[in-house]
Structures are given as C-alpha cells and as structure tokens.
C-alpha cells in the first residue's frame, strides 16, 4: 500500500511545484518618458545654438548632477517627478568654480515645469508608467538670465521622439 501512495504523492507535489512556475517577466517596453529640451539662438529662432559648459540639476538635488559641465549640447533629457505636479531645474551656462572660494561662477537660471500626471498600466513586468499633460513652464527672473525665453512645443510628454520644450538663449 505504501508503495502506491509514495508515487501518487510525488506526482501531486510535482504538479503543484511545477504548475506554479511562470516564464520570467522582463520589461522591454519604454517606461516613463523624460522631458526633451532643445536649445536655440534667440536672435535667429530656427537656428540651434549649443550651450557652453552646461550644468543641470534638480532643485533640492544639488549633489546629483543631470548634466555636469558639458559643452556643445544642443538638447538634453531631464526627468520629471512622477508623484508631484511640478519639477524645477537649475541650468547653469558657462559653469565653473571660483579659484579661491570654489563657488559656482556660471550664469544660473531656474526653470519650473508644471504638469498633470497620468498613470498608465504597461504590463506586470513593467508596472505603471507616467505620461505628462498640460505642460507649462516658468523661469525665475534673477535680473541676469542667460535664457531669454521658453516655448512649449508639445505639452504632452508621452515619448522621447521629439523635443517638448525649446529654450532660446
């Protein structure tokens, strides 16, 4: 009798063990898109103009540089916050440190982006992604802005195929 029960229990256990297995879920889909900013000449609005020694970081995240003193960039990708409706960035043109004090000597501008977040379920492997709509921007006027104007080219941030924002300088 015991000889018949052991194989039956082993078969039942195997069904439960291997029946619960699933293929690995790997997220291959794009997730939450970043905001694409393109830089243009403020005297000839259709001409791309690079920024010299650009430094970019999020307000409140001074130690985490998104861009750190890179020249000849005509566009950048910056992440927007997914749990808030505003993200602010510091953009510094001609970034450098004072030889004596070590303090930043570049021209510092602060830009804020306001938006509405929309969560979208992608898959079990990827979870949710966030798209952004009703994008708008403001620049803090410090009396010496290197950025002369900002134009929202696409107020829906759903992919990274084209620029969402144009900055003129």
Residue range 127-161, pLDDT digits in tens: 899 999 999 999 999 999 999 999 999 999 999 99
Residues ≥6 apart with Cβ < 8 Å to 13: none
Domain range annotation of the chain: 24-168
Q: List 128's β-bridge partners, or say none.
A: 121
> Residues 75, 39: contact at Cβ < 8 Å?
yes
- Mean pLDDT score of the chain, rounded to an integer? 90
Q: Angle at Cα 162 formed by Cα 158 and Cα 163, nearest 5°?
A: 95
pLDDT, one tens digit per residue, over 102-136 is 899 999 999 999 999 999 998 888 889 999 999 99
Q: Angle at Cα 111 formed by Cα 41 and Cα 38, nearest 5°?
A: 35
């Amino acid at each position: 009798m015991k000889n018949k029960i052991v194989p039956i229990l082993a078969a039942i256990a195997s069904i439960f063990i291997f029946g619960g297995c699933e293929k690995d879920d790997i997220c291959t889909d794009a997730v939450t898109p970043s905001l694409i900013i393109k830089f243009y000449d403020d005297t000839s609005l259709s001409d791309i103009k690079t920024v010299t020694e650009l430094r970019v970081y999020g307000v409140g995240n001074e130690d985490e540089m998104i861009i750190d003193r890179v020249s000849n960039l005509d566009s950048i990708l910056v992440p927007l916050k997914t749990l808030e409706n505003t993200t602010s960035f510091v953009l510094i043109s001609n970034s450098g440190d004072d030889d004596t004090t070590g303090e930043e000597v570049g021209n510092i501008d602060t830009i804020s982006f306001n938006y509405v977040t929309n969560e979208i379920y992608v898959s079990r492997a990827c979870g949710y992604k966030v798209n952004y709509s009703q994008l708008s921007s403001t620049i803090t006027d410090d009396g010496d802005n290197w950025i002369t104007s900002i134009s929202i080219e696409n107020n829906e941030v759903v992919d990274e195929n084209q620029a969402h924002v144009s900055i003129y300088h």
